[in-house]
Amino acid sequence: MKILIVGASGTIGKKVTAYFKGKYELVTAGSKSGDIQLDINLPGSIESFYEKTGAFDALISVTGAGHFGPLGSTTPDDFKKGIDSKLMGQINLVLIGQHYINPKGSFTLTSGILSDDPVVYGANLSAVNGALNSFVMAAAIELQNNVRINVVSPGVVEDSPGYFDAFPGHTPVAMNRVVLGYVKSVLGAGTGQVIKIY
């Protein structure tokens, strides 16, 4: 199985990559690191990425930025950061990647708990995460050749203590539980699922 991991050097991406390494053929990617570099904000960069990787069996996306700040001072340009990066960046990985993925392959995207349990300053990420969840449920009924798609929605993770204060009352999620969400998506049989790891 050939697995592409976009965002492989990030907090979650590192652990996901470590799980699959040695078991499958991996191609890692990121904006500044990995086997191949790409900018998910640019469809042309995504197209070039797939041209370099060729056919594949699974794509895991653990990437995308958003805006975190007071709603009162959030500008349309601020909000657009999350739309262009975490939302459309991941959606475009699917829209373009569907033409390169092997039959019975799978896409796994990443959203997050803020779609269900918002926090102060998180309106942009709440909107983006909710949209990603809805996209995956809808795309699952249209993807051809038995290609599956799921999204992992983790809570604040234990390896990101810098975010704990922004999530008051939330229990940090163990990294091994988060990784297993991606394993379930890639190696399981489900599609159109929002795999919540809270």
Amino acid of residue 116: D
Q: What is the pLDDT of residues 92-146, one digit of tens each?
A: 999 999 999 999 999 999 999 999 999 999 999 999 999 999 999 999 999 999 9
Q: What is the DSSP string of the chain?
A: -EEEEETTTSHHHHHHHHHHBTTBEEEEEESSSBSEE--TT-HHHHHHHHHHH-SEEEEEE-------S-GGG--HHHHHHHIIIIIHHHHHHHHHHTTTEEEEEEEEEE--GGGTS--TT-HHHHHHHHHHHHHHHHHTTT-STT-EEEEEEE-SBTT-GGGGGGSTTPPPBPHHHHHHHHHHHHHS---SEEEEE-
| Predicted local distance difference test score (pLDDT) of residue 61 | 98
Q: What is the pLDDT of residues 45-71, one digit of tens each?
A: 999 999 999 999 999 999 999 999 999
Write down the mean pLDDT value for the chain.
98
The proportion of the chain whose per-residue pLDDT surpasses 90, expressed as a percent, equals 100
Confidence of residue 30 (pLDDT cuts 50, 70, 90): very high
- Count of the separate structural domains present in the chain: 1
Angle made by CA atoms 187, 57, 52, in degrees to the nearest 5: 145
Token couple for 22: 């040695």
Mean pLDDT to the nearest integer, 74-93? 98
d(CA 18, CA 152): 17
The proportion of the chain whose per-residue pLDDT surpasses 70, expressed as a percent, equals 100
Instruction: State the CATH number of the domain containing residue 77.
Output: 3.40.50.720
Cα torsion angle, 133, 136, 141, 146, sign: negative
Full residue range of the structural domain in which residue 42 is found: 2-197
Mean pLDDT to the nearest integer, 166-173? 97
| Predicted local distance difference test score (pLDDT) of residue 50 | 98
